[in-house]
Amino acid sequence: MTEQLKGPASAREDDDWDIVIRPSKGNTPDLGLVWQYRDLVWMFFKRDFTTFYKQTILGPVWYIIQPSLTAMTYYVVFGKIANLSTDGLPPFLFYMSGTIIWSYFSACLTNNSEVFSKNANLFGKVYFPRLVVPLSVAMSGLVAFAIQFLLLLTVSIGLKIANPDLAVSYWFLFLTPLVLLYIAVLGIGAGLVVSALTVRFRDLVYAVGFMTQLWMYGTPIVYPFSQIPERYHWFYYINPMTTPVQTFRWALFDAPALPVGLCLANLAVTVAITLCGLALFSRAEANAMDTV
Amino acid sequence: MNDIVIRAEHVSKLYRLGVINHGTLYRDLQSWWAKWRNLPDPNISVSDHTSARGARSRLKGDIFHALDDVSFEVGHGEIVGIIGRNGAGKSTLLKVMSRITMPNSGFIGIRGRIASLLEVGTGFHPELTGRENVYLNGAILGMSRAEVRSKFDEIVEFAEIGEFIDTPVKRYSSGMYVRLAFSVAAHLEPEILLVDEVLAVGDVNFQNKCMGRMQEVTKAGRTIIFVSHNMTAISSICPKSILMADGKVAAMGDTADVIKAYLDRPEFGGTAIYSVNPEDVDGKAVICRVAVLNEKDELSGTVELSKGFSVEIEYELREPLSGLSVGMQIMMEDGYTPLVSLSDPELDLGRLDTRPAGYYRARVKFPGCLLNTGTFYVRLGISSRFSIYSVAEGIRFDVEDNVGIIQMLGQQRKPSISAIQLPWAVEKVFLRDSEGVLK
């Protein structure tokens, strides 16, 4: 009863199909399609946001407690005991600014590392561009950042009133969005690399948290870049998180700026990681549901 | 020929068992190391054992052909049913068409916007309100916010949710939850809709409403592909069908013919007994054995018209389950279902009890003459409200006219499904007297 099939010769008029499904190893993700699904990014963001507040009593307070305590711990350990310099900035502002920048990045990275296994139920039942999920994760992280940033500004204004000599630059109004965009792109990119790899290697999930921790110590969070001996500078050229952290502090508190060459090198690494992440992710997307 | 909106050509999907994904970096490195030293892969042997146990014709080495050279086409506005046994490749085909997984070879071209409904309520979050979930679920299914907004009132009305729309769905009854979920899906307006067995939810009234909605949708010129076990549903809404067997298209054409081909297949042959080795099957609940027994409790593929008979089901629960029911469906050769019976009806309070893990035997008795002569097929399933745990099918028995009443009177078989004798009451109202007057 299959005679009504046409022969393969007539079937090659592929171009007038709206959707063509054929085996593929996955190539660059279809960003146009992601744009079509922008409402879904928003809905996922809203879901994460709403459920977070419905489930916790303290809600946003956690966002404030956590970085404050971390910043204080750093102040005691690295500022008081180890006596590391803070580039002349008030220690709390120095550590706090580093912490909130880093926690935004690490949220993007770690929350994206298990995209496939955490959403297996959803991905196994309905099709949409999978990239929607990492994007919404990066958006959710912004809420925490915004709250922490407000805290940082409030404290800075307080300190400025108490001590008019404190330098507070207004560059941040312009540069903070750029810094965040940079971190989001890098965090998503690195997260995509990890998520694609965890499809194949489950045990990598355990390494992610630990690697992120190590990465933090390789980034000028608890120490300023100016303290790094010249011969180790190459490391900061390849660590793409150096630029956003240092730039953020520079924009806010006039901390010393970075050499332009280093920023460009960092930018190149970020672009490379992100492209690599997109490629690996779309490859994983093609057959993740058969293996998860 | 009308214009084709879906064309599949030589689509194959392979699953490699075991080897492809070792799951851990360590084991992958182990394999590479062994390969490099020309030693046998220490991880491969494991998968060889597992595949040997489930050896079937579709297993070539450790490759399983979930879809094997599948080709078909669907025209604009057609409603096509896909039937086949469990594991015949129906769901894989649907998953490939809905782009959840990729085929290994072949080509599928689709014209128009496509949406797939492999499950209702995908992505529903219990903490969110009905309203929030409608928007979320709509977006997941591919609707824009503006689209959901414009249909929102219709969705709520169809689901009969009313003022509960702003209550978190975790407080919904299971019926409300399913109704809302289906309602969102029913208001999708793609040109092509792929549906997998989702109509098997909700109570009977709602199911009928869903069926009505499906028919309404197709009048609007949409194309639907409908995968189901339910022959009655398939034959009532799909004029055309595709029969899948062992990953291949076994038959295609008018639904009545395809259903007949399905029931005629050798694996459906006249066995009055069904049994599986429970160790071969995964699942929370497994039907291990089904038998048709005659009046004397002997296994029998032929039962007598005027005598009672029973169907016995043995099943294993591997974990305590609640809301459980064994459902039995009696089907005729043309796929029509004259009888459905549940061991624990929906309204029975006892159904909510948790049944501990263990081995159970259930038996259902049929009175004599309930079924008229003919061939019947039994399908059994264990299910809770939301999921079907295990399905047994392919059990067949014949009802024969033992007393020969029909032949004696020189009559044809009564044109009914049931030959049951209903209690008639005949009473005298008037008598005609000798003059022929009624009084």
DSSP reduced 3-state for A151: helix
pLDDT band at A80 (very low <50, low <70, confident <90, very high): confident
pLDDT at position B49, please? 36
Helix (H) or strand (E) segment spanning residue B10: strand B4-16
Q: Is residue A2 part of a domain?
A: no
Range of the domain at A45: 28-291
Q: Would you tell me which residues 110-139 of chain A have a C-beta closer than 8 angstroms to some C-beta of chain B?
A: 121-128
Contact A19 B122 (CB under 8 A): no
pLDDT band at A250 (very low <50, low <70, confident <90, very high): confident
pLDDT at position B268, please? 47
For chain A, percent of residues with pLDDT exceeding 90: 21
Range of the domain at B359: 270-408
pLDDT band at A29 (very low <50, low <70, confident <90, very high): low
Note whether A267 contacts B: Cβ–Cβ < 8 A.
no
Q: Is residue B286 part of a domain?
A: yes
Q: Is residue A17 part of a domain?
A: no
Q: Would you tell me which residues 194-253 of chain A have a C-beta closer than 8 angstroms to some C-beta of chain B?
A: 200-204
The owner of tokens 């599949």 is B8
Q: Nearest-CA residue of chain A relative to B147?
A: A39
Q: Is residue A35 part of a domain?
A: yes
The owner of tokens 């214009």 is B3
A6 has pLDDT over 60: no
Q: Is residue A37 part of a domain?
A: yes
The amino acid present at B258, given as its one-letter code, is V
Note whether A16 contacts B: Cβ–Cβ < 8 A.
yes
pLDDT at position B342, please? 86
Give me A290's structure tokens.
Answer: 């058969």
Q: Nearest-CA residue of chain A relative to B241?
A: A1
ipTM given for this complex: 0.81
Task: Determine the Cα–Cα distance for residues A156 and A150; give it in Å rounded to an integer.
Answer: 10
Across A145-177, b (16+ Cβ under 10 Å) vs e yields bebbbebbeebbeeeeeeeeebeeeeebeebbe
Best CA proximity match to A240, nearest among A206, A207, A203, A277: A277
Note whether B139 contacts A: Cβ–Cβ < 8 A.
yes
Q: Is residue B278 part of a domain?
A: yes
Q: Is residue A255 part of a domain?
A: yes
If one counts every other C-beta atom within 10 angstroms of the C-beta of residue B315, the result is 23
Give yes or no for a contact between B136 and B123, defined as CB atoms under 8 angstroms apart.
Answer: yes
Q: Is residue A179 part of a domain?
A: yes
d(CA A200, nearest CA chain B) in Å: 6
If one counts every other C-beta atom within 10 angstroms of the C-beta of residue A11, the result is 17
Q: Is residue B394 part of a domain?
A: yes
Give me A159's structure tokens.
Answer: 């300190």
| Counts for chain B of helices (H) and strands (E), in that order | 10, 21
Q: Is residue A270 part of a domain?
A: yes
Contact A127 B96 (CB under 8 A): no
DSSP reduced 3-state for A162: helix
The owner of tokens 């940033």 is A149
Q: Is residue A173 part of a domain?
A: yes
Task: Determine the Cα–Cα distance for residues B216 and B210; give it in Å rounded to an integer.
Answer: 10
pLDDT at position B250, please? 86
pLDDT at position B209, please? 76
A46 vs B contacts (CB less than 8 Å)? 132, 136
Bridge partners of B309? B366
User: Mutate which of B15, B118, B140, B227 to test chain A, going by most A C-beta atoms within 10 A?
Assistant: B140
Tally of domains within chain B: 1
| Counts for chain A of helices (H) and strands (E), in that order | 12, 1
Across B233-264, b (16+ Cβ under 10 Å) vs e yields bbbebbebbbbbbbbbbbbbbebeebbebbbe
Bridge partners of B362? B313
d(CA B9, nearest CA chain A) in Å: 8
Q: Nearest-CA residue of chain B relative to A291?
A: B21
pLDDT band at A20 (very low <50, low <70, confident <90, very high): confident
Contact B111 A17 (CB under 8 A): yes
CATH number of the domain that residue B361 is part of:
2.70.50.60
Q: What is the pLDDT along chain B (439 residues), one digit of tens a residue?
A: 458 888 898 998 887 655 444 455 666 666 677 666 666 655 554 433 333 333 344 555 567 788 888 999 898 888 899 987 666 788 888 888 888 888 888 888 888 888 887 777 788 888 889 999 999 998 888 888 898 999 999 889 888 888 889 988 888 887 788 888 888 887 887 888 888 765 555 566 776 777 777 777 777 778 888 887 666 677 777 889 998 888 888 889 998 888 777 766 655 445 667 777 777 777 788 888 888 888 888 877 778 787 889 999 999 888 888 888 888 999 887 778 889 888 887 777 776 778 888 899 999 999 988 888 888 888 888 887 767 788 888 788 888 765 544 444 444 566 788 888 888 999 888 888 777 777 6
Task: Determine the Cα–Cα distance for residues A200 and A213; give it in Å rounded to an integer.
Answer: 23
User: Mutate which of B13, B21, B119 to test chain A, going by most A C-beta atoms within 10 A?
Assistant: B21
Sheet architecture: strand order including B358-366: B273-275, B285-293, B309-317, B358-366
A176 has pLDDT over 70: yes
Look up the pTM and report it. 0.69
pLDDT tens digits, A134-170: 999 999 888 889 989 988 888 888 888 888 777 777 7
Tally of domains within chain A: 1
Task: Determine the Cα–Cα distance for residues B127 and B122; give it in Å rounded to an integer.
Answer: 14
